[in-house]
Amino acid sequence: MTVQVLGKTVDDQTRCIHYHSLKDIIAIKFHCCGEYYPCYQCHKEHADHPNSIWPKEKFHTKAVVCGDCKFEMTIHEYLNSHSICPKCSSLFNPGCENHHHLYFEKK
């Protein structure tokens, strides 16, 4: 299954106009709409509704995709990944942790 990533992507690895370093290769399925976006800013610019965060009890849901290998992981897998894809070992931007509160309820 191919995941469709919405927003202002700049390549096929889910980078967007807001975040496009070599390590910015994840997209997140937003709890509010079930759609994948590269970042909260893309969601804000393109969705017709406000963001809602994933509650802890739904962290078993597949809601993060690696832009490199396209592996769709659960929120638990992503939060425990130490910024490394559990399937292909690609590096994720560790700075994304600064925005976790915009996507996920605190552990």
Domain presence at residue 49: yes
Domain presence at residue 55: yes
Domain presence at residue 20: no
Q: What residue numbers bound the domain in which 58 lies?
A: 26-102
What was the pLDDT predicted at 2?
81
Domain presence at residue 15: no
Domain presence at residue 19: no
Rounded to 10 degrees, the C-alpha dihedral 47/41/28/105 comes to -100
Domain presence at residue 46: yes
Q: What angle do CA 107, 83, 33 make, to 5 degrees?
A: 60
Can you tell me the distance from the alpha carbon of 94 to that of 57, in angstroms, rounded to the nearest whole number?
A: 24
Domain presence at residue 17: no
Domain presence at residue 1: no
Per-10-residue mean pLDDT, the chain, length 107: 90 96 97 97 96 97 97 98 97 95 91
- Per the DSSP assignment, residues forming a β-bridge with 105 are none
What was the pLDDT predicted at 1?
59
**Measuring CA to CA, which residue among 58, 64, 54 is closest to residue 92?**
64
Our count of domains for the chain comes to 1
